[in-house]
Amino acid sequence: VEQVEAAKARIKQLLIRENAVIVAHYYTDPLIQALAEETGGCVADSLEMARFGSQHSATTLVVAGVKFMGETAKILTPEKRVLMPTLEATCSLDIGCPVDEFSAFCDAHPDRTVVVYANTSAAVKARADWVVTSSIALDVVEHLDAQGQKIIWAPDKHLGGYVQKQTGADVLLWDGACIVHEEFKAQGVQDLVARHPNAAVLVHPESPAAVVELADVVGSTSQLIKAAQTLPNTEFIVATDQGIFYKMQQLCPEKTFHIAPTAGSGATCRSCANCPWMAMNSLENLAHSLDTGSNEMFVERALGERAMLPLNRMLAFTK
Ligand code: CIZ
Ligand code: SF4
């Protein structure tokens, strides 16, 4: 406890010294989320992180999350210094969508509008017409479908399949997945529902279709947090990263949250509802980055300018 308090006090001083603000994702360590809130930063999903960072007056953004979130911040505000607690934190969706292969895939289907999830590299975004997050994926694809556009969706096949099913749009899917959400098991959720019959089931659409089918509410992290607040249920089964419990419990202290079951423990479960890359962010490496200016994120200028177009389209769409 003492060590934590000392680290927090040190980071508070450094934030002032460096004119910096913390932009943290819901999946990071609750200690980081609490500190972001205490210091006027934000705790949010990737869409709101992007918006907050681009509107805040701080000259340095400390992005606690994974690489694509830091890249997005740098692309949107190239004049700001963007630091990350670690530059090693990536994402299985980003890794599973290398730009050369993806570009060739797009080139092979020139009649399709290219929609990519925010969880992609700057280079993949630069090849896209639209960037979306899970909170606006349905709305954007509905909008494009209404104009008669055919779509390439990348990289998450579960979210893409869900969007396709909900909108009826003509969607060609890239074969990517999130190693965290992919582990949730329908049978496990059904067993848990049997034990907690009054619990509402909240599912992030990066989960397999069989799990999504069991949901009372399907949505992005922000939408699931809202559901926890607004539904009358006092008990919830949640299929997304456990980091989200910090915010759910804070907003609903009297409610109970159960994590949806994954494949199990140890070797059979690579991540167990806790993203290993998000977990690489700590108070220690956050303090170190702020103090030394290490782990600064850079995006090549021409690439950033190209990637900014679909990102700005995303931000404008939800204004
Ligand atoms: O799974 C992720 O990385 C999510 C949910 C990102 C986001 O959009 O906030
Ligand atoms: Fe990527 Fe999944 Fe981790 Fe999110 S939770 S950063 S989608 S691996």
- 232 Cα: distance to centroid of ligand 2 (angstroms): 29
Shared domain check, 132 and 59: no
Shared domain check, 255 and 206: yes
173, 192, 214: which is the final residue of a domain? Answer: 173
Average pLDDT over residues 264-292: 84
User: Does residue 266 have a pLDDT over 50?
Assistant: no
User: Does residue 190 have a pLDDT over 70?
Assistant: yes
| Domains identified in the chain, total number | 3
pLDDT (tens digit per residue) in 39-57: 999 999 999 999 999 999 9
Shared domain check, 197 and 136: no
Let me know if residue 266 belongs to a domain.
Answer: no
Report pLDDT for 270: 57
User: Does residue 272 have a pLDDT over 60?
Assistant: yes
Shared domain check, 117 and 49: no
Give residue 188's domain range.
181-259
Average pLDDT over residues 115-142: 97
Pocket test of ligand 1: the residue of 220, 225, 278, 318 to mutate, having most ligand atoms within 8 Å of its CB, is: 220
* Structure tokens that stand for 92 in this block: 């299985």
Let me know if residue 148 belongs to a domain.
Answer: yes
Let me know if residue 197 belongs to a domain.
Answer: yes
Q: Which of 54-63, 88-97, 267-276 has the lowest average pLDDT?
A: 267-276
pLDDT (tens digit per residue) in 147-188: 999 999 999 999 999 999 999 999 999 999 999 999 999 999
User: Does residue 93 have a pLDDT over 60?
Assistant: yes
Shared domain check, 105 and 42: no
Report pLDDT for 119: 97
Let me know if residue 314 belongs to a domain.
Answer: no
Cβ(50)–Cβ(70) under 8 Å?
no
For residue 244 and ligand 2, the question of a CB distance below 6 A is answered with: no
What percentage of the chain reaches a pLDDT higher than 70?
A: 97
- 26 Cα: distance to centroid of ligand 2 (angstroms): 11
Pocket test of ligand 1: the residue of 23, 27, 28, 280 to mutate, having most ligand atoms within 8 Å of its CB, is: 27
Shared domain check, 138 and 192: no
Cβ(260)–Cβ(45) under 8 Å?
no
Let me know if residue 289 belongs to a domain.
Answer: yes
Let me know if residue 310 belongs to a domain.
Answer: no
Average pLDDT over residues 29-36: 98
Shared domain check, 46 and 105: no
CA distance 146 to 167: 10
For residue 262 and ligand 1, the question of a CB distance below 6 A is answered with: no
Average pLDDT over residues 292-312: 97
Closest ligand, as measured to the CA of 97: 2
Pairing of strands 235-239, 256-259: parallel
- 92 Cα: distance to centroid of ligand 2 (angstroms): 6
ipTM: 0.96
Let me know if residue 121 belongs to a domain.
Answer: yes
Let me know if residue 285 belongs to a domain.
Answer: yes
For residue 184 and ligand 2, the question of a CB distance below 6 A is answered with: no
Shared domain check, 122 and 50: no
pTM: 0.95
**CATH assignment at residue 198:** 3.40.50.10800
Q: Please list the alpha-helical segments (H only) found in the chain.
A: 2-17, 30-38, 46-55, 67-76, 92-95, 99-107, 122-126, 137-146, 157-167, 186-195, 209-212, 221-230, 245-251, 283-292, 301-317
What pLDDT band is residue 271 in, cutting at 50, 70 and 90?
low
| Nearest protein Cα to ligand 1, atom 9 | 45
For residue 119 and ligand 2, the question of a CB distance below 6 A is answered with: yes
Ligand 2 atom closest to the CA of 68, numbered from 1: 6
What pLDDT band is residue 263 in, cutting at 50, 70 and 90?
low
Shared domain check, 138 and 66: no
Average per-residue pLDDT for the chain? 96
Shared domain check, 208 and 163: no
What pLDDT band is residue 1 in, cutting at 50, 70 and 90?
confident
Average pLDDT over residues 236-245: 97
- 45 Cα: distance to centroid of ligand 1 (angstroms): 6
120, 145, 173: which is the final residue of a domain? Answer: 173
Query: Which residue ranges are tagged as binding site for [4Fe-4S] cluster?
Result: 91, 178, 275
